[in-house]
Amino acid sequence: MDLNNLIDITVTGLGYELVDLELSPRGRVLRLFIDKADKPSGIDVEDCALVSNQLSRVLAVENVDYDRLEVSSPGLDRVLKKLADFERFAGAEVNLKLRLPMSGRRNFNGVLHGVQDGKVRLAIDTGELELDLGNIDKARLVPKFD
């Protein structure tokens, strides 16, 4: 079974969302970021421990060879990858980097207006953009401090 799929099935089976998975260059460190949409206080240590313990058992049964497993929250500057992420965080300020330039620019800061017709909508100071998900290299929430 594919490692990404195995981890995703395990995490979602526990009621969490797999936000991101990072593998070290040699695959010795598995670093994953989890979230839970219906938990307004965010991911805490108990959540990370629960997922880590369950995943350790699953990886042992599946004979996955690794040195270290790290489970954490996605943080205030959470990465956005899936269309569902862009829908969920509509209204939030984001920082986007494109793979291919649009109007001579690759970096954009603006307010996310969700998804329409499969395109990510972003309001910037000069108007509104529609971006293909496949052209978005990196997207992160901009943290708000009150």
What's the length of the chain?
146
Residues 7, 13, 16, 17, Cα dihedral to 10°: 50
pTM of the complete model = 0.83
Tell whether 40 and 92 lie within a shared domain. Answer: no
We report the CATH number of the domain holding residue 37 as: 3.30.300.20
Question: 67 with 96, same domain?
Answer: no
Give the least confident one: 14-18, 20-24, 38-42: 38-42
How many Å apart are CA 71 and CA 63, to the nearest integer? 19
Question: Helix-strand-coil percent breakdown of the chain, rounded to 5?
Answer: 25, 40, 35
Q: What is the pLDDT of residues 100-145, one digit of tens each?
A: 998 889 999 999 999 998 899 999 998 899 999 999 999 999 998 8
- State residue 27's pLDDT score: 73
Q: What does the alpha-carbon distance between residue 37 and residue 145 come to, in Å, rounded to a whole number? A: 20
CA distance 96 to 48: 28
Number of domains observed in the structure of the chain:
2
Q: Are 137 and 97 in contact (CB under 8 A)?
A: yes
Determine the residue type at 70: E
Q: Which range marks the domain in which residue 108 is found?
A: 83-141
Domain-embedded: residue 146: no
122 domain residue, yes or no:
yes
